[in-house]
Each structure stands twice: as C-alpha cells, then as structure tokens.
Amino acid sequence: MPNQSGKANPHPTHKCSFCGKTNNDVATIITGDGACICDECVYVCVEIIFKQNRRTHSEHDVNGESHAN
C-alpha cells in the first residue's frame, strides 16, 4: 500500500483548472486531458447542470409528478 496516511503531499502535483486550488487544498482532484477539476468545482458544476436540467425539464413536462391526494 502506498504512502496514504492522510498526510498532505508537500509538492502538489495537480492544480484545478477552474479555481486554481492544488491537490493539497482540496480532497480530490480529477484529471482530464490537459485539465483538472477539484471536487469543489465538481459540486458547482453539478448544481448548474441540475438547475438547467430542471428548467428545461419543466418546460416540456408540465404534469410529470403525481398531483393526486
């Protein structure tokens, strides 16, 4: 098992392309092709996508949820 005793890496290897935080500053950094994103920015992105999704969804689907009771 590699050295993963919860100690921060003294030399950050990755930096979030969105907010600029390093893998020392956040819990998780996801690396892509030439770009990185931290878990905090992922949450922001998910929030934006869900909000957009809900808006476009409600335009099409007016009576989606059950109203009975």
Numbered residues of the known binding site? 16, 19, 38, 41
Beta-bridged to residue 38, according to DSSP, are 29
Handedness of CA 65, 57, 55, 62 (dihedral sign): negative
The tokens for 19 are: 């907010």
- The CB-of-45 to Zn ion minimum distance in angstroms stands at 10
The closest alpha carbon to 16, from 38, 34, 31, belongs to 38
- The CB-of-33 to Zn ion minimum distance in angstroms stands at 17
The site string for Zn ion over 20-49 (x = CB under 5 A, - otherwise) reads: ------------------x--x--------
The verdict on 16 binding Zn ion (CB under 5 A) reads: yes
